[in-house]
Structure 1
Amino acid sequence: MKTDHEAVKQLTGGDALVEGLKVHGVDTVFALPGAQIYGLTDALARNSDSIRTFGARHEQTSAYMAFGYARSSGRPGVFTVVPGPGILNASAAMLTAHGCNAPVLALTGDVMSGFKDRGRGQLHELPRQLEILQGVGKWAAHIEQPADAPWQVAQAFQKMQSGRPGVVSLQASWDFFTRVSAVRLQQPLELQPTPPIDSDAVEQAAKLLSKATAPMIFVGSGALEASSEVNQLAEVLGAPVVSFRGGRGVVSDDHPLGFTVAAGAKLWPKTDVAVVIGSRFELLDIRWRHRPAGLKLIRIDIDPAEVRRIPAEVNLVADAAEGASALANAVLRAGPPKHRDAEIAEARATAEHDIQSVQPQLDYLRVIRDVLPRDGFFVEEISQVGFTSIFGFPVYKPRTLVTSGHQGTLGFGFPTALGVKAAHPDKAVVSICGDGGFMFAAQELATAVQYKLNLVTIVFNNNAFGNVYRDQQESFAGRLLGSELVNPDFVQFAESFGVQAFRVSTPAQLRPVLEQAFAADRPILIEVTVPRGGDSSPWKFLHPTFSN
């Protein structure tokens, strides 16, 4: 007898894709319908009992919501938009998701099969669209026939989740989605195996660490599923664990060894061995731009290409959890280095004192942290408060801080937070935005209302692209161009969508309003008024200088 996965069914291309999603456990899709994908969105409508579909007002939002869903949950995020301008609108979010190693599947259309590669200018035709999709992710493919769809979906999920996770795309011609064919469903493919542990490399690394006097660990997005193992390694070594963005919460900020970059910079000049786990380690030559004399590097990363990008004494191509655990056990056998608890505690305390100068951002972040539940989600944005949160907002659990990673994508925060809320309807989610970034997707307040996503959005309004404004003032003799903004009345704007809104101007005023907002069962917007140029610069903690 054939199982359900082996049965042959008469399906449209759209149905074949949806059945493939269901086989892979997908229960949420983010979509903006259009002519070329009508057959797919109709199939989603007919399967609404098993797959929730969230609409949006812009293709970019559909993709950002998929990113927020994936980044905060670790589960694949799926979105579908029309080809050409639709998928190009979504490409900024795809690039962001791929840079953050988020498993996201993009589904899109193409011109009619009879017009493919003929350059006839059919609606939304984008020459070499498949090549573009291949350039913003791990893998992309064109599906020719409905019968091919289950296999291609299975490949997409395998590619997306194996090794270093990332973005994959599937496209098909306009007529594919409504064409009926005999289709055999495909069971999920096994993920590609993780590299075996190189015991010689582990022993070499353990010898370096057993002789270290000032080791430090650095973690990125690749360590999000290795929290327990990284904590074990840190405690064996007595070494602080630093994350710039992606690995925040892998070691909790209330753990004595949980360090922000501000605290890490205090100990960096004396560091003799750095263990870098699942991180591009941009601090080394982009942010800190200082390498202590005699520094030895040990890198653990599942991506062989990554460990080749920065020369290291030991390269361990391995799953982060497996590699960290193997290294911790090897250090125990070799003999752990002497711990320096007092020095580490002093560095944490000094950094905490120093960052108090970044105001008013830090006081607002302190209020948000006090009110946001420990397991709530904080979605930052490219803004003065967002920059400050990198070192000024404590994070206690992996994935509860959502960032745009090294892409620094202005405007990502609010639409991404909608996807975080869709993934975690029972958790508190807060989106912090600058006025400039919020306006990239402000129309999505309608999406929040329509789908009852009770997201709390805080818009810090300084009537400027704050960083640009400061740079033009300080570095270009005050010649301002495009950095001063004219905004709507954000309270009235939000209320016009049916969103309850408040306006505050101090951290003390924010606290009771935020408490009320998290208790509400509807979307809430809070405008925080800040004088233009009234934010302290956070950059001395993000680009510190070191004496030689």
Structure 2
Amino acid sequence: MNAAEAIVQCLKSEDISHVFCVPGESYLPILDALFSEKTIQLISARHEGGAAFMAEGYAKASGKVGVVMATRAVGATNAAIGIHTAKQDSTPMVVLLGQVARTFRGREGFQEVDVEAFFRPLAKWAIEIDDAKRLPELLTRAFRIAQTGRPGPVVVSLPEDVLHEQIDHVIFSKTIVPKPAPSQEDIQRIEQLLQSANRPVIIAGGGVIRSKATDVLRLFAEKWSLPVMASFRRHDVFPNDHPLYVGHLGLGTQRAVIETVEQADVVLAIGTRLSEVTTQDYRLLSTQQLIHIDIDYDVIGVTYSPHIGIVSDAKEALKRLLTIKLQQTWTAWTKKRREVYDQVSSLPSIKRNINESVIDTLQRLLPPESIITNDAGNFASWLHSFFQFQQHTYIGPTSGAMGYGLPAAIGAKLAHPHRSVVSLSGDGGFMMTMQELETAVRYKIPIISIVFNNQMYGTIRMYQELRYPKRVIGTDLSDISFAHMAHSLGADGVRVETEKQFLHAFTSALQNNKPTVIEVMTDPHVLSPFLTVEQARGGKQ
């Protein structure tokens, strides 16, 4: 077989069923090899950034490795935003990039860039394969690195001439991800520290979701009435309507929710790197005793020095923690923290704006197994503040990447074709990747895109008004009809201005099995659920 055919055989061995790309001349042999492989569906996107977001969203939803392909420098650099998102979100992804022929390297050939040097800071690993005979070894290693330890994106650069070379037939084997477990001594130390606690709290992150440990986490929390918080944009790590769930540590988190961590005396952080956002600019966890469990040795101790630091798969750790014995003294405190969360996360009976009506409608009408994706933007603060997520129902970028929601929804829908998938975007973020709506139409992928249109970059406007009142520059946007644009791309589209109109549009979208855009016209003076332009200018929050 040639090297390109060997790549496809490796994809098959890793149980890859979808590959995302924008086709490129530099890797035509791989496309040709995929033509003959009926078990892998190629999804050809409109932009490499969109293709990378699709692969990242697909990986999150499916639990598999996301695979994306792009051509030399110009395509590769377009894909960089999705690679960065996968790195910050700990998402397993393999990125196959075309490269100029080896004889042209170092001459600034057409579309040449040093791929390894460019992507080394963005990826978990970057490698250029300049010897076809080493391709099986290095590509297998790429899939192993992407999935083991803290998962992440691996970039593989493939010089065009290498892809044509013949190599011996290779039998690939699927990567088996190791699951390290804590020792009995580690478990006893955790037991002793939790036994000394009066106000313990669990902060659960993406590692719990990735290791399929959400049910075990719930059992552990229920056994000892331990309150659980979700790290940034990992809302679905624990059922939000559960009496032990006490909030999400994200952007704009209500002060009352943050106080739960501040009042805690022992924090059990599982599968989270305790990021800047989760720790509220690294200001939390200054006085608490910290137990930090993570799959990656390099994560533990980076932000905070833990009292107990353990390298372990989240599920293996939680299974062993089910065996500990505690004399709980915190039941009343846990109940109080849940009451506080209920107070700040409940929508008012009379909706103050259409944003609240949208979230209320989603909560009432979405089937329980539905998946929600979202962009970055102020519109998301309504979703994050008020929507009650169930396990495995949310996909969002901890990188804060705009343009993520729609393509990630396409990837999620391909992973779970029988589940409803809804993306939420602002008009700014949606415009960055809305061309991928045509991709959804072409492949008949029926996702629902809700676009909150306030004709501005709302998050930046909020900070402008807070820091430089009335000195607005660069954040105004045009009045564009996204509903009309959706129709021109072959999708359904509707513009709504009232709760009743949205209810009708969303009900229809759930039933019509077709890509749909619902454009929600929102009040530009309402910057967040808790802040208007006038309040921002007056310094009131």
Q: Establish whether TM, by shorter chain, passes 0.5.
A: yes
Q: Distance in 1 between matches of 2:320 and 2:100?
A: 51
Instruction: Tell me the amino acid that sits aligned with residue 296 of structure 1.
Output: Q
2:159 counterpart (173, 177, 188):
173
Match 2:20 to one of 18, 22, 30: 30
Please name the residue that 1:198 is paired with: 183
- The one-letter code matched in structure 1 to 2:11 is L
C-alpha separation between the residues in 2 aligned to 1:521 and 1:354?
Answer: 30
Q: Give 2:73's aligned residue.
A: 84
Deviation at 1:51, TM superposition (A): 0.7
Distance in 2, matches of 1:228 and 1:479, equals 50
> Which residue does the alignment assign to 1:324?
318
2:164 alignment partner AA: T
State how far apart, in whole Å, the 2-side matches of 1:184 and 1:345 are: 56
SS of structure 2 residue aligned to 1:230? helix
TM-aligned CA distance change 1:133 to 1:308, over 3 Å:
same
Q: What is the CA distance between 1:359 and its match in structure 2?
A: 4.7
For the residues of structure 2 that align with 1:511 and 1:218, how far apart are their CA atoms?
35
Partner residue, 1:232: 219
Q: Give 2:468's match in structure 1, choosing from 476, 480, 489.
A: 476
**Residues 89, 214 of structure 1: alpha-carbon distance in 2 compared, 3 angstrom cutoff:** same
Does the C-alpha gap of structure 1 residues 284 and 95 become closer, same or farther in structure 2, counting only changes over 3 Å?
closer
- Worse overlay, 234-243 or 100-109: 234-243
Secondary structure, aligned partner of 1:470: helix
Amino acid in the other structure paired with 2:91: A
Instruction: Tell me, yes or no, if the aligned pair for 1:21 and 1:153 is still in contact at 8 Å.
Output: no
1:512 corresponds to: 504
1:159-192 superposed Cα distances (whole Å, 9 cap, x missing partner): 111121111121111112233333323223443x
Q: How does 1:297-376 map to 2 (within 5 A)?
A: 297-309=290-302, 310-330=304-324, 332=325, 334-340=326-332, 342-353=335-346, 359-376=353-370
Equivalences, count? 521
Q: State the alpha-carbon separation in 1 of the partners of residues 93 and 320 from structure 2.
A: 30
Does the C-alpha gap of structure 1 residues 284 and 519 become closer, same or farther in structure 2, counting only changes over 3 Å? closer
Distance in 1, matches of 2:502 and 2:468, equals 35
The aligned amino acid for 1:366 is D
Evaluate the alpha carbon distance shift between residue 328 and residue 30 of structure 1 in structure 2; reply closer, same or farther with a 3 A threshold. same
User: Which digits, 9 at most, give the CA deviation of each residue in 1:192-222, with x for residues without a partner?
Assistant: x333413323212211211211111101101
- Residue aligning to 1:385: 379
CA distances 1:279-303 after superposition (whole Å, capped 9, x unpaired) = 1223788417654784211111111
The 8 Å contact of residues 150 and 185 in structure 1, kept in 2 or not, is answered as no
Aligned partner letter, 2:355: Q
Answer yes or no: is the 8 Å Cα contact 1:245–1:403 preserved in 2. Answer: no
Is contact 1:272–1:292 with CA below 8 Å preserved after alignment? Answer: no
Shift >6 Å, 4+ stretches: 354-358
1:500 matched residue in structure 2: 492
* 2:8 alignment partner AA: V
Measured in 2, the distance between the counterparts of 1:188 and 1:498 equals 39
Distance in 1 between residues matched to 2:129 and 2:260, nearest whole Å: 53
Superposition deviation, residue 388 in structure 1: 2.7
When structure 1 is superposed on structure 2, of 252-261 and 138-147 the one drifting more is 138-147
Identify the match of residue 274 of structure 1 among 262, 267, 270: 267
- When residues 83 and 273 of structure 1 are mapped into structure 2, their CA distance, relative to the original with a 3 A threshold, is same
Q: CA deviation at 1:30?
A: 0.5
Cα distance in 2 for partners of 1:137, 1:65 equals: 17
Question: Who is 1:451 aligned against?
Answer: 443
Percent of pairs identical after alignment? Answer: 28
Query: Contact 1:358–1:537 at 8 Å: present in 2 too?
Result: no
Structure 2 counterpart of 1:185: 171
Task: Report if the CA contact (8 A) 1:220-1:277 is conserved.
Answer: yes
> Hey, what's the Cα distance between the residues in 2 that align with 1:539 and 1:379?
24
| 8 A Cα contact 2:406 2:437, kept in partner | no
What is the letter of the counterpart of residue 388 of structure 1?
A: W
Which amino acid is 1:188 matched to?
A: K
TM-score where L is the length of structure 1: 0.90
Helix, strand or coil: the match of 1:183? Answer: coil
Query: What letter is aligned with 1:507?
Result: E
| Secondary structure of 1:454's aligned partner | coil
Secondary structure in 1 matching 2:379: helix
Q: 1:537 to 1:320 in 2, by over 3 A?
A: same
1-structure distance, mates of 2:220, 2:160: 52
2:428 match: 436
Secondary structure of 2:167's counterpart equals: strand
2:194–2:200 CA contact under 8 A, matched in 1: yes
Moved more, 506-515 or 166-175: 506-515
SS at match of 2:342: helix
Cα 1:313–1:151 change in 2 (3 A) is same
Query: Normalising to structure 2: TM-score of the pair?
Result: 0.91
Partners of 2:424 and 2:29 lie apart in 1 by 37
CA distance in 2, matches of 1:196, 1:378: 32
| Preserved contact between residue 181 and residue 312 of structure 2 (Cα < 8 Å) | yes
| Alignment partner, residue 4 of structure 1 | none
Query: Residues 266 and 347 of structure 1 are in contact (CA less than 8 Å); yes or no, is this contact kept in structure 2?
Result: no
Cα separation, 1, equivalents of 2:64 and 2:327: 39
Q: Which residue identity is paired with 1:242?
A: M
Deviation digits for residues 391-434 of structure 1, max 9, x if unmatched? 32211012x211101x1111111121111112122210001110
- SS of residue paired to 2:495: strand
Structure 2 CA distance for partners of 1:219 and 1:505, relative to 1, 3 Å: same
Indicate conservation of the 8 Å contact 2:200/2:330, yes or no. no
Provide the secondary structure at the position in 2 that maps to 1:54: strand
Mapping of residues 260-299 of structure 1, within 5 Å: 260-261=247-248, 262=254, 264-282=257-275, 286-287=279-280, 290-291=283-284, 294-299=287-292
CA distance in structure 1 between the aligned counterparts of 2:11 and 2:468, rounded to whole angstroms: 52
The letter of the residue matching 2:197 is A
Q: What 5-or-longer segments of structure 2 have no aligned partner? A: 249-253, 533-541
Residues 36, 111 of structure 1: alpha-carbon distance in 2 compared, 3 angstrom cutoff: same
Per-residue CA deviations over 1:35-73 (Å, capped at 9, x if unaligned) read 1111111111222x1110000111111111100100111
Residues 176 and 484 from structure 1, CA distance in 2 versus in 1: closer, same or farther, beyond 3 angstroms?
same
Q: Which moved more, 1:213-222 or 1:242-251?
A: 242-251
Q: 1:410 aligns with which of 402, 408, 422?
A: 402
Equivalents in 2 of 1:403, 1:440: separation in Å?
16
For residue 535 of structure 2, what is the aligned residue in structure 1? none
Please tell me the residue identity of whatever aligns with 2:362. Answer: I
Structure 1, unpaired ranges of 5+: 1-10, 541-548
Alignment of 1:423 onto 2:412: no
For 2:323, what is the secondary structure of its paired residue?
helix
Partner of 2:83 in structure 1? 94
1:510 Cα shift? 1.1
Could you report, residue by residue, the CA deviation over 1:520-546 in whole angstroms, capped at 9, with x for unpaired residues?
121111100112223435589xxxxxx
Task: Look up the match of 1:527.
Answer: 519
